[in-house]
């Protein structure tokens, strides 16, 4: 799943040192389990051994969400095209990851499926192009939609149901150092059998919703509010409901750069 990623040398700096290990004792042999540790600290209860890979991904999200306070962190997918990025904040079950997986296989660059890392000074977005987490029906939807999709193992009976991860596109991993600026904040929601609808959303309500989806808004305090204020001011905000991925991609491809950006403000 990380075949395109670079390996660090022993002397290189790493943000987090993590390990996945089987507990000692009888659990090593009877109903085997796995622990996730971060610098020797075990933040979660052990999971069944066959859930090791999802635990690896969830654990890395936990590390970033709890410790990368040099950024404002928002639970959101982030995709980019033509140098302009769309932030897609959404709670679980909204269809965010399914939409993200479709977009990055139709010409959009993946910055993240789970975490928007927003610079407090410039508002630029730092990419972390890792595999996209898909659950339940979304796995087959994307498998049918993306002919050459590369999936990790399908793991059943997790706390999130059946999960599998879609490998990040090679081009997105290659451009992991390329920062980009946000142009749109779009709140997606899957609505079965409904036409795709993109509707302007009030900026005040958008700010409050993003604050609610932030991992560290309360940690940053007044600075966090100022970052969100500037972010929302610089972006066009929308509600987006969809059922057809083709319709969704057509609407995303037709997005216009915010007026202030277009005139060079």
- For the ranges 8-22, 62-76, 237-251, the lowest mean pLDDT is seen at 8-22
- The share of the chain scoring above pLDDT 90, in percent, equals 86
Task: Choose among 23, 78, 87: nearest CA to 55.
Answer: 23
What ranges do the domains of the chain cover? Answer: 12-67, 74-254
Q: Which long-range contacts (CB under 8 A, 24 or more apart) does 199-202 make?
A: 199/238, 199/239, 199/240, 200/236, 200/237, 200/238, 200/239, 201/237, 201/238, 201/239, 202/237
* Mean pLDDT, rounded, for 196-225: 96
- Give the CA distances from residue 164 to residues 53, 84, 135, 257, in Å, rounded to whole numbers and listed in that order: 9, 29, 6, 34
Task: Choose among 221, 242, 197: nearest CA to 94.
Answer: 242
Collect all residues with Cβ–Cβ distance below 8 Å to 30 and sequence separation of at least 6. none
pLDDT in tens, 117-158: 999 999 999 999 999 999 999 999 999 999 999 999 999 999
Collect all residues with Cβ–Cβ distance below 8 Å to 204 and sequence separation of at least 6. none
């Amino acid at each position: 799943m990380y075949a395109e990623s670079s390996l660090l040398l022993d002397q290189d700096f790493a943000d987090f040192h993590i390990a996945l290990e089987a507990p000692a004792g009888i659990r090593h042999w009877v109903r085997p389990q796995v622990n996730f540790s971060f610098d020797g600290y075990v933040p979660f209860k052990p999971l069944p051994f066959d859930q090791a890979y999802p635990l690896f991904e969830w654990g890395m999200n936990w590390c970033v969400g709890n410790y990368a306070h040099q950024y404002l962190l928002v639970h959101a997918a982030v995709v980019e095209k033509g140098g302009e990025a769309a932030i897609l904040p959404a709670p679980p079950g909204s269809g965010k990851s399914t939409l993200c997986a479709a977009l990055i296989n139709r010409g959009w660059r993946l910055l993240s499926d789970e975490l928007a890392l927003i610079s407090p000074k410039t508002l630029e977005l730092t990419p972390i192009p890792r595999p996209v987490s898909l659950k339940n029906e979304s796995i087959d939807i994307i498998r049918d939609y993306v002919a050459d999709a590369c999936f990790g193992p399908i793991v059943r009976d997790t706390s999130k149901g059946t999960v599998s991860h879609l490998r990040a596109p090679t081009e997105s991993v290659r451009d992991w150092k390329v920062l980009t600026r946000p142009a749109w904040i779009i709140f997606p929601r899957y609505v079965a059998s409904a036409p795709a609808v993109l509707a302007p959303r009030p900026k005040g309500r958008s700010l409050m919703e993003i604050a609610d989806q932030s991992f560290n808004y309360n940690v940053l305090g007044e600075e966090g509010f100022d970052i969100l204020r500037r972010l929302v001011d610089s972006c066009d905000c929308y509600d987006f409901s969809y059922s057809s991925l083709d319709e969704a991609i057509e609407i995303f491809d037709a997005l216009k750069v915010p007026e202030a950006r277009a005139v060079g403000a």
